Amino acid sequence: MRHRKAGRTLSRTASHRLALMRNLTSALIRAKDGRIITTVEKAKEARPFVEKLITLARQGTLQARRLAKARLGPCAHAPARADDEETESRTILTKLFEEIGPRFHDRPGGYTRIIKRHERRLGDAGKTAFLELLKEGETKVRARAPSLPTTPAPKVTETPESEKPSSK
């Protein structure tokens, strides 16, 4: 029985799961458009990991930087973008604290979005989704409940007794 066991194991050991979360987070931060494609289950598990790191980046203190470095592990020293030679010294940690943290400074939470895709993964046909960071000033859009039609009902006017047709 799995009573009171939080989170998905994703068929991995604890160390493998931690490495997976670190790699997904570094890929998301490293991405130019702030969007990665992964399975729906991995995206749902990576979301809290990423959002806690962004919350640390919002603080911007030395202690927060050290905590983020510990949570990211060896991924913290990877280059922010592999195709940029002139910014080779920029790490994921610096991008997190200099760009992403200030972007969400006034936002109280909810920094990521999961968008399900219709394409299945090749091989095992797993459901895929986009895991993306919100843009600056962007708000999450919730689906509205279907509302009733807004067209007004036709008005019913009563006719005087003298104009009614007689049924005699």
Residues with Cβ < 8 Å from 133, sequence gap 6 or more? 28, 34, 35, 100, 111, 112, 113
> pLDDT, tens digit, for every residue of 87-110?
555 889 999 999 999 999 999 999
Domain membership of residue 82 (yes or no) is yes
Domain membership of residue 144 (yes or no) is no
pLDDT of residue 149: 63
Q: What phi, psi does 11 have (nearest 5°)? A: 55, 40
pLDDT of residue 124: 95
10 three-class SS: coil
Domain membership of residue 146 (yes or no) is no
The residue range of the domain holding 111 is 14-138
Helices (H), 14-168: 14-30, 40-59, 62-72, 92-95, 101-103
Domain membership of residue 143 (yes or no) is no
pLDDT of residue 81: 67
- Domain count of the chain? 1
Query: pLDDT-based confidence at 75, cuts 50/70/90?
Result: confident
Tell which wins on pLDDT, 16 or 91.
Answer: 16
Domain membership of residue 122 (yes or no) is yes
- CA neighbours closer than 13 Å in the CB half-sphere of residue 83: 3
pLDDT of residue 83: 62
Instruction: Tell me the pTM.
Output: 0.77
Percentage of the chain lying above the pLDDT 90 cut: 68
Tell which wins on pLDDT, 102 or 161.
Answer: 102
Domain membership of residue 102 (yes or no) is yes
Domain membership of residue 70 (yes or no) is yes
Domain membership of residue 111 (yes or no) is yes
Q: What is the CA radius of gyration of the chain?
A: 26
pLDDT of residue 145: 67
| Domain CATH for 35 | 3.90.1030.10
